Amino acid sequence: MRVFVLTGAGVSAESGIPTFRGKDGYWRNLDPTKLATPEAFARDPQLVWDWYRERRQRIRTAQPNAAHEAVARLAQQTDEFLLVTQNVDDLHARAGVAAEKMVQIHGDIFITRCSRCDFSYGGRGGSPEPPGACVVQPTNRRLRSIATTSERDLNVPTCPKCQALMRPDVVWFGEQLSRNELERVEDFLDGGACDLVIVAGTTATFGYIIDWTLRASQDGAHLIEVNPEETPLSRFATRLVREPAAIALPRIVDELRNSGAL
């Protein structure tokens, strides 16, 4: 079995990680699609860092759900497997998908890198934030404004090599995908026809997600879409599952195993 899986925000939403779209994604009344941009970072790096620190903290306390675990079982039971996830959290990794079987195409929120040179630090799981970096949320409004002021002084990391601002190693709107990660996806797709393609928890907004799915399934692969709503990929799917990923994926992986496919 040669298996290609793509996942998106819907998979992590079931672990309590807010998606960018919809009212749950809003933070301090700000639209995440406008915060996750190079322009927002240039204008107010502290604001963008505050938001990412909160997201990191939320991810640390979140747990992989049944969808992450099902993908990990599939990865472990398949010789040729690649997961491409649009999620920058570490929940797939914590569920047990090995790094060499996964591409985080939009980056890794726990890596901090220089905005100018190649210096970076951090890694999967993330080290604890530096002192003062955890977002303080006093209930009293006056205290909250004081806490915000002190955070603003403390928490704009700079590069020890070149003094430029450090940033999260994620792909922002309007930025190029990492060439290295792109090559890993291309290499897998060039490596042979897939038997099974699963697309889960993504609205397939990005053209490259659609392209890769269609390339992987062009030679007659079974294409399963797991998403509560229709997407641009729905009409190509050989099976549509209109359920949350945490419900559908464990069942699908069980079916594969029971049918002897794994």
Cβ distance to Zn ion smaller for residue 155 or 202: 155
Q: How many residues bind Zn ion (CB under 5 A)?
A: 8
Residue 81 backbone phi and psi in degrees, to 5: -145, 135
Report d(CA 23, CA 34) in Å as an integer.
Answer: 14
Residue from 161, 239, 242, 257 that binds Zn ion (CB under 5 A)?
161
CB of 57 to Zn ion, least distance (A): 25
Q: Measure the CA–CA gap between 125 and 35, rounded to whole angstroms.
A: 23
The site map against Zn ion for 34-73 (x = CB under 5 A) is ----------------------------------------
In the chain, the amino acid numbered 224 is I
Q: How many helices (H) and strands (E) does the chain have?
A: 10, 9
Q: Is 68 a catalytic residue?
A: no
Nearer to Zn ion, 159 or 209 (CB): 159
Spatial contact of 135 and 56, defined as CB atoms under 8 Å apart: no
Task: Give the burial class of 116: count Cβ atoms within 10 A of its Cβ; 0-12 exposed, 13-18 middle, 19 or more buried.
Answer: middle
In angstroms, the Cα distances linking 93 to 19, 66, 75, 246, 259 are 19, 13, 11, 16, 27
Nearest approach in angstroms of CB 162 to Zn ion is: 3
From 4-12, 55-63, 153-161, 244-252, span contacting Zn ion (CB under 5 A): 153-161
Residue among 102 and 166 whose Cβ is closer to Zn ion: 166
Q: Are the C-beta atoms of residues 67 and 14 closer than 8 Å to each other?
A: yes
Look at the chain and count its residues: 262
Separation between Cα atoms, residue 33 and residue 110, nearest integer Å: 19
d(CA 4, CA 221): 10
CB nearer Zn ion, residue 4 or residue 41: 41
Among 42, 136, 162, 193, binds Zn ion (CB under 5 A): 162
Pick the closer one to Zn ion by CB: 59 or 166.
166
Minimum distance from residue 168 beta carbon to Zn ion (Å): 15
**156 lies in the binding site for Zn ion (CB under 5 A):** no
Binding residues among 90-119 for Zn ion as defined by CB under 5 A: 114, 116-117, 119
Catalytic residues, by residue number, are 106
Binding site for Zn ion (CB under 5 A): 114, 116-117, 119, 159, 161-162, 164
